[in-house]
Structure 1
Amino acid sequence: MPHHPPARRLRRNIRVRWGWLIGTAAATSIASAQPAPALSPIVVTATRTERTVDDAPVRTEVVGRDEIERTRAVTLKDALENVPGLQLREVHGKSGYEVTLQGMTSDQVLVLVDGLPITASTGSTVDISQYLLSAVDRVEVVKGASSAQYGSAAIGGVINVITRPIQPGFSGQVTVDAGSRGSQDVSSWPTRKHGQFLLEGGSDTLRARLSGDAVKDAGFAVNPDGWARQGDAVERQQVALRLAWHPSRSGEVWAEAGTYAEDDEQRYTTYVPPNEVLQRKTEEITRDRIASGARWTFENGVSVQAKGVAEGYDSESIEYAGGAAGSRRNAEMRMRHLTLQTDLPAWAGQLWQFGADVHEDTLDQTVNGVPELDGNGRAKRSSNELFVQNDIVLGDDWELLLGARYQDDSDFGGHLAPKASLKANVYSSGDWRGVLRASVGQGYRVPNLKERHYRFDHSSIGYVVIGDPNLKPESSDSVQLGGTFDFGPAVKVDANLFYNRVKDLIQIDQDNGVPVNGITEYRYENVGRARTQGLETAVRWQATPSLTLQAAYTRTDTEDLETGLELTRRPKDIARIGLDWAAAPGTQVSVRGRYQSSELVNTATQGRSPAFGTVDATVNQQFGHGLTGFLGVSNLFDRQRDFADANDFGPLSGRLIYLGVTYAFGKPTP
């Protein structure tokens, strides 16, 4: 193995070139089953500096643009469905989905767009169905509290959506598709319609991109002629404009403005003796987001960057009973976030990084015009955070990443969380390589405004969820130990052991409801001490030049250390399989399978949701001149939950068959 001085090796592996290196990263992911590219993709989430995924000291999983287009993902939820060990579940009482990692809830997973937070959309979690994908380059996933780069809400991990770098020249892409659920459709064909566009281009110095998505789903019902719908009617639209100025290869200034709108309708019945009362709930959501940033690398190698976001999230929900309007709830959330970062040039085998984050949230909520929160209907919190990180190269094969983050919260005071990661190149010979990684870190999350003050009123069907102002912050210790092994160019194996121990875990269990005037009230609670631990494994095999297979299995064990019982809504076993086959020139067949074991739903009754499995299949056919047609089936074998069983949280939607076309035109300037 050739020898390089540590400082030189560090400069070779770590390049702080904002956007330029990102442009080489678009193709591949751990979740993708295509042949490995010559260059592994660049990732930024774990360390906030560009590293190849193979060289990153913190384990990072990536869903690339190729995988998004191959599986015809429409929302962020769709893009994440095949990430090993990741669990997707419906947001309680809402028309969306949330994500859990390593047995840690969605409240403990930080969701970012280009490194900047996105407002929690309901309860205390980000609804990952509310982000559409026209401008997305890739999605990076870091599991556990292993990075000092992120503060509150990153206790369980980070999901970072990276948008496409704008290329000079002129290019664009348009996609339209439509689908049906067969006998469960509640409207004429198609029951689901989707359109997407992207236009971008410009000169070497000044560039612009306009992107947009629209999805309209009429919903579905087991009995389409009846009133009740098991699947909500949802319309989503998203538009964004981004401008970028590149005065030189050393710097960039960018700004983006975007808006998201959603209209939902739920239909259900409630038995009020002696009759069934027809009820429905509507919700209108808007999210307006403005973000901007700049970076500059000086001749001495010092790199400075700053970026910020201002976001407003508004929701109006109305409940109707028997055709008459009932309660009208309005919630207004405002989020401001600014991050600053300085990277010093490599010196003596070390790369120092310093940064600061300033964050503020406000929440206003009324019901029928009457304030529903303490303090005249408004709640507010802010935090100031500092982080430092030093990446140390120890010879040719060892790398040590040390970091710490200090958070000063307006409501909960200060807290210091240290982190450490170690990477070792244990073997390298031609196409054979072995890399071990270990991470230890402390996580810390203050309860957000919704968990302390929010009131989710679904009293029309018998329950409400109420925030608890007396909640304490969660803290955790996280350990990750694993490795990645390349057995020649054809086989790649990944394995990781994880252990998370949480103090003052915040959650809601179905058995802590208290009846009040005929309505069951559920409250957020600190359950004391809990732990999650397990094993994640994945393998990818390039069986032939035209056939790639992949498989992944995650085993998760959880325990409430106060009661000795397992935690609710955490399946022990999650498996993924995938196949990509170039069946003919221009013809790509992709199959994705998922399995999830049973999960505990109620600790009092020991009620469990049964195990389930689903399979998706997609065929993409290129017709030349930028035209691609596709045909897909989601939930091929029509595995659907038993809606009469309150404990069944299996797949909500049955089989969906869809077809569409994509047209790409123009080309970027080389």
Structure 2
Amino acid sequence: MMKLNILFFVVLLTLSALWGKAQTGTISGKITSAQGQQLGAATVVIPALNKGAASDSMGIFRLEQVPFGTWQMEVSFLGYKTYKTSIKVDRKEIFHNVVLTQPADNALNEVVVSGTMKEMSKLESPVPVEVYTARFFKANPVPSVFDALQTVNGVRPQLNCNICNTGDIHINGLEGPYTMVLIDGMPIVSGLSSVYGLSGIPQSLVERVEIVKGPASTLYGSEAVGGLINIITKKPASAPVIAADLFGTSWGEANVDLAAKFKAGNKTQSLLGVNYYNYQHPVDNNNDNFTDVTLQNRISVFNKWSFDRKDNRLFSLAGRYIYEDRWGGEMNWSRKYRGGEEVYGESIYTNRWELFGTYQLPVKEKILFQFSANGHNQNSVYGNTPFMADQYIGFGQFTWFKTIGSHDLLTGLTYRYTYYDDNTPATADPNDIDKNKPNHTKLPGLFVQDEISLNASNKMLLGIRYDHSSIHGSIFTPRINYKWSSANKNNILRLSAGNGYRVANVFTEDHAALTGARAVVFKEDLKPETSWNGNINFVKKIYAGNTFIGLDATAFYTYFTNKIIADYDSNPDSIFYGNLQGYAISKGVSLNADIVFANGLKILAGATVMDVYRKDGSEKVRQLFTEKFTGVWNIGYTFKSIDLTIDYTGNLYGPMRLPLLSETDPRKEYSPWWSIQNIQLTKKLGNGFEIYGGIKNLLNWTPNIGNPFIIARANDPFDKEVIRDANGQVIPTVPENPYGLSFDPSYVYAPNQGIRGFIGARYNLFR
């Protein structure tokens, strides 16, 4: 009988333990500011459980199915320091209200991953990383990530064509091909898509954008010479159940962002997003008979899956598909003229798919396998010049994270395969002009990084990468970073030096090689570019009562050898490509200031002064399309009593050198000072609804102001009336061609779209 009682007691204890282990509860509460403002869309997470939620428009949050036990809970909201507390879950319902009181510090404690490939506090990162949340970009709603970056200091979306409005992103004056664009850390946007793939990322799915200025080739390889932009998408666990953002403009543009999350079983969550943009209203305000803005019809579908695994190991999978039909040209152009010589138009059909993900291996060590693949098909014509191209890229990467004492080690093994084929001389078979010879580029690589914590205030980062290109052979890229911080973390100094390299493909990166009437001439086989870069970054946090002031200053210097130069100046009818025999320099200083007042007024302003030029012999030549000064600002204030927010955003650019066709070209060699400014009002209606509206380009600035024309010979786009001499030089004729010009749309430095109104609505449902 005694043994039976003991057995019964043991069974009872076991069942009780199993029952207790299986029990779960719900944590709910309300998030407010010290002034009593209800904080909607705040992020609430329990990191150990990989579980999160977001507060609704009333500041209310719920974390469901939390296992019994004591957990660390973190609450984040833009403008406030992260709130951390321990919560004991021992019953079905736990109520915990959160009051955020500590002043904002420009999200200096945000988690960042781009600088070192691992999650860490922005304050602790030895690599300076700028973080911009989705809320920042809502101050000036735009239809694409490309346009959204116009209010980021030192980053400028550059239009490359007056007709089809394609563009790339400059960082510190360096052209788009020097900027690597990542989605969730994966190299998605490159090659062909560096021109056509920056649109269509649904902004309703963007959690934040991380920007690293300066070479990052040691970790990310080729293309990360000028810097990188990492678009971090939302995790399904913390995303709203339904999100919608719709707006239209007085020019007839319509943009729709839709997102929804759902569960597929107990351990799988999915986030689905759709972006649709449409503009079909030709406008010619500068009276050159060409569309001022390209007509577009674009749809993009994004789907991200997150899988719960044992020991909270990572497994996520995402994909995107984008289709775009865009055209610009003479106002009477239609599809029947596509590719002909009767009416000029530039028409581009883009089909693109992407797949990428992360899988943590089921082993004791932290080993991740990251992968991406994408395919890009482009069917385009530029007047009577067709450009048909296919590109496929496969990428795989193993990373191993290991901590040994004060050393945080990261080792990576990568492989990248690129297939590229088009109808240009770039892939022509030299032995048979009727056949193509597609490029097959293989790029295996290995990198090692050691982050050394010398003490509480000093940290050093050492890294080296080796790549072996199937075309260019061995490439080494080392880097070193050093960080010092004061005991209270209010002063941070970072020093960095590193090497970058880039392998160029002109026809996928430079739109000017296709458009207009210029011939493309290669002086030689292009060699890989290399660069050496040094940066000094200093961050200062100042608390003045209830006011926070954050200062972030950087001095940068980059030295290029073998720089690939597009020479527009030697011959007005040709573009000569070749490696620079001398050297090129990009140098400057930048300052960001973030000021947050207790009454809710927020000011984020920045300025960059730079000098970008090349030296070939004794001649110093300033780089085309690069300003010496850039200023940006984002000023916001909320009238709490009526839940109305006003945002005033803008930028200011100094003069840029522009390409002229002849000494008699009447257009200005340098652009004037110019500015695009916007204002927006946002009204919260409750229950997750808000409406917004405002005016874009308040000053109605367009580049035709002060110029007789923007597109050269717009009246004769096929050069039918242009007369040339025996050397191919244009001969001035009166009255047909008094300036001796040929058709050319490359004189572009600002959008042709003038002032316009906009109105929109947003809805977010959390539960």
Same fold by TM-score, threshold 0.5 exceeded? Answer: yes
Distance 1:452 1:558, change over 3 A: closer
**Alpha-carbon distance, 1:356 to partner:** 1.6
Match of 1:487 among 542, 545, 554: 542
Distance 1:659 1:94, change over 3 A: same
Is the deviation greater in 356-365 or in 571-580? 356-365
Pairing of 1:489-568 with structure 2 (within 5 A):
490-513=548-571, 520-528=573-581, 529-562=583-616, 563-568=619-624
Matched, 1:641 2:711: no
| SS across alignment from 1:128 | coil
Distance 1:503 1:593, change over 3 A: same
Deviations 1:199-247 (A, max 9, x none): 1132662111111100002254234998521211011110022222111
Matched, 1:145 2:215: yes
Matched, 1:474 2:529: yes
**Partner Cα distance (1:395, 1:95) in 2:** 51
Is the deviation greater in 434-443 or in 637-646? 637-646
- Answer yes or no: is the 8 Å Cα contact 2:513–2:575 preserved in 1: no
- Answer yes or no: is the 8 Å Cα contact 2:52–2:238 preserved in 1: no
**Partner Cα distance (1:235, 1:558) in 2:** 36
**Partner Cα distance (1:579, 1:159) in 2:** 23
Deviations 1:489-546 (A, max 9, x none): 51001100000001111132321446xxxxx232432223101111010111113422
Partner of 1:100: 170
Q: Counterpart of 1:43 in structure 2: which amino acid?
A: V
Deviations 1:552-586 (A, max 9, x none): 11000122121212222110000112211002442
| SS across alignment from 2:190 | coil
Q: Counterpart of 1:533 in structure 2: which amino acid?
A: K
Matched, 1:356 2:413: yes
- Answer yes or no: is the 8 Å Cα contact 1:309–1:337 preserved in 2: yes
Match of 2:246 among 157, 176, 194: 176
Matched, 1:233 2:319: no
**Alpha-carbon distance, 1:549 to partner:** 1.4
**Partner Cα distance (1:501, 1:421) in 2:** 18
RMSD (CA atoms): 3.2
Partner of 1:78: 147
Deviations 1:285-314 (A, max 9, x none): 011112232125855xx3111111111101
| SS across alignment from 1:107 | helix
Partner of 1:414: 474
Distance 1:167 1:554, change over 3 A: same
Partner of 2:236: 166
- Answer yes or no: is the 8 Å Cα contact 1:46–1:147 preserved in 2: no
Deviations 1:449-468 (A, max 9, x none): 7469999433xx42244667
Distance 1:297 1:541, change over 3 A: farther
Q: Which has the larger radius of gyration?
A: 2
Partner of 2:255: 194
**Partner Cα distance (2:189, 2:416) in 1:** 12
- Answer yes or no: is the 8 Å Cα contact 1:337–1:358 preserved in 2: yes
- Answer yes or no: is the 8 Å Cα contact 1:384–1:408 preserved in 2: yes
**Partner Cα distance (1:103, 1:506) in 2:** 15
How many residues are aligned here? 617
Partner of 1:221: 283
**Partner Cα distance (1:443, 1:632) in 2:** 42
Pairing of 1:613-624 with structure 2 (within 5 A):
613-624=675-686
**Partner Cα distance (1:35, 1:373) in 2:** 60
Is the deviation greater in 393-402 or in 238-247? 238-247
**Partner Cα distance (1:617, 1:512) in 2:** 43
Distance 1:180 1:170, change over 3 A: closer
**Partner Cα distance (2:107, 2:750) in 1:** 40
Partner of 2:306: 244
Q: TM-score, normalised by structure 2?
A: 0.75
Partner of 2:458: 398
| SS across alignment from 2:622 | coil
**Alpha-carbon distance, 1:123 to partner:** 8.9
Deviations 1:598-636 (A, max 9, x none): 011248869212220121111111101111101022211
Partner of 1:68: 137
Q: TM-score, normalised by structure 1?
A: 0.85
| SS across alignment from 1:550 | strand
- Long gaps (5+) in structure 2: 1-45, 55-73, 81-102, 333-340, 712-746
**Alpha-carbon distance, 1:370 to partner:** 13
| SS across alignment from 2:139 | helix
Match of 1:307 among 364, 367, 370: 370
- Answer yes or no: is the 8 Å Cα contact 2:107–2:131 preserved in 1: no
- Answer yes or no: is the 8 Å Cα contact 1:123–1:456 preserved in 2: no
**Alpha-carbon distance, 1:408 to partner:** 0.5
- Answer yes or no: is the 8 Å Cα contact 2:459–2:483 preserved in 1: yes
Partner of 1:273: none
Partner of 2:738: none
Matched, 1:654 2:736: no
**Alpha-carbon distance, 1:169 to partner:** 9.3
- Answer yes or no: is the 8 Å Cα contact 2:587–2:611 preserved in 1: yes
- Answer yes or no: is the 8 Å Cα contact 1:97–1:129 preserved in 2: no
**Partner Cα distance (2:298, 2:595) in 1:** 37
**Partner Cα distance (1:424, 1:214) in 2:** 46
Distance 1:504 1:261, change over 3 A: same
**Partner Cα distance (1:198, 1:78) in 2:** 20
**Partner Cα distance (1:474, 1:328) in 2:** 29
| SS across alignment from 1:80 | helix
- Answer yes or no: is the 8 Å Cα contact 2:195–2:511 preserved in 1: no
**Partner Cα distance (1:601, 1:246) in 2:** 54
**Partner Cα distance (2:239, 2:328) in 1:** 45
- Answer yes or no: is the 8 Å Cα contact 1:400–1:420 preserved in 2: yes
| SS across alignment from 1:568 | coil
Matched, 1:439 2:496: yes
- Long gaps (5+) in structure 1: 1-14, 182-190, 271-275, 321-325, 515-519
**Partner Cα distance (2:214, 2:484) in 1:** 19
Distance 1:37 1:106, change over 3 A: closer
- Answer yes or no: is the 8 Å Cα contact 2:277–2:299 preserved in 1: yes
Distance 1:554 1:219, change over 3 A: farther
**Partner Cα distance (1:440, 1:304) in 2:** 28
Distance 1:451 1:578, change over 3 A: closer
Distance 1:130 1:377, change over 3 A: farther
- Answer yes or no: is the 8 Å Cα contact 2:178–2:224 preserved in 1: yes
**Alpha-carbon distance, 1:35 to partner:** 4.1
- Answer yes or no: is the 8 Å Cα contact 1:552–1:576 preserved in 2: yes
**Alpha-carbon distance, 1:77 to partner:** 1.4
**Alpha-carbon distance, 1:250 to partner:** 2.7
| SS across alignment from 1:118 | strand
Partner of 1:330: 388
**Partner Cα distance (1:331, 1:238) in 2:** 20
**Partner Cα distance (2:327, 2:121) in 1:** 44
| SS across alignment from 1:609 | coil
Partner of 1:448: 505
**Partner Cα distance (1:466, 1:94) in 2:** 23
Q: Counterpart of 1:215 in structure 2: which amino acid?
A: Y
- Answer yes or no: is the 8 Å Cα contact 2:426–2:507 preserved in 1: no
Q: Counterpart of 2:273 in structure 1: which amino acid?
A: S
Indicate the structure with greater strand content.
1
Is the deviation greater in 416-425 or in 578-587? 578-587
Matched, 1:376 2:376: no
**Alpha-carbon distance, 1:658 to partner:** 0.9
**Partner Cα distance (1:469, 1:588) in 2:** 56
Q: Counterpart of 2:357 in structure 1: which amino acid?
A: S
**Alpha-carbon distance, 1:38 to partner:** 7.9
